[in-house]
A and B are shown apart, each in its own frame.
Chain A
Amino acid sequence: MIKLVKEIDLNEAYAALQHEEAGGISLFIGTVRNHTPGKSGVMQLDFEGYEPMALKEMEKIASEARNKWPIKQLVMIHALGEKKVGESVVLIGTSTAHRSDSFASCRFLIDELKNSVPIWKKEHFEDQTVWVNAHP
């Protein structure tokens, strides 16, 4: 299951990860925190995505992960739009026969997503807005 949504549905993702040959499921959920290095008071984040390309990149990363680990089920979901502190913005999950493969593949998927998937986050503070990671 690979998709872009407004709200992440944890139950739907968990159901999609079920597999009778799986001995373990790893889930990573990224959430909005209230501070950024050197600045506190993040009030809200806006996520923008280049949707067709983002989905294509997510499919590519998923297929790399499937080549590296014996994955039974795989979920990559990213939310777009406005998100408040504490809300979920990304959910990654894999189910595998053994736990080491699910931990490793889950880590790979979120690391690669952050590297290459065309999604951008804008932080809203009380006094300014900042596109995250844009400048050195």
Chain B
Amino acid sequence: MNIRLFGITKDIIGAESLQVPNDLSIHTVRDLKHWLYAKYPDIKSLKALAVAVDHGYAEDGDKLSPGNEIALIPPVSGG
């Protein structure tokens, strides 16, 4: 599963995108967040972290599948 990164999440993870191994049994947005918090503790210091699935904000219980476009959305600051 490939995750697109934006804003400060690129700096924390140190890449433009993140490959999540398929054998980790990450099936939902919640699973993904827990895995990220453990692997990249600096993400926990952010004001918030949202996950987008197919260009829309996803809820923690939403399912993830390899066909989805998944992205990390740190706190936005446009305007």
Contacts and interface: CB of A to CB of B under 8 A. Distances in A.
Do the two chains belong together in a single complex?
yes
Interface of A: 30, 47-50, 52-54, 56, 78, 89-90, 110, 113-122, 131-136
B38 interface: no
Interface in B1-55: 4, 6-8, 11, 45-47, 52, 55
A50 B73 CA distance: 9
Q: Is the interface of B mostly helix, strand, loop or mixed?
A: loop
Choose among B6, B74, B75, B76 the residue with the greatest number of A CB atoms under 10 Å from its CB: B76
Interface of B: 4, 6-8, 11, 45-47, 52, 55-57, 71, 73-79
Contacts of A78: 78-79
Q: Is the interface of A mostly helix, strand, loop or mixed?
A: mixed
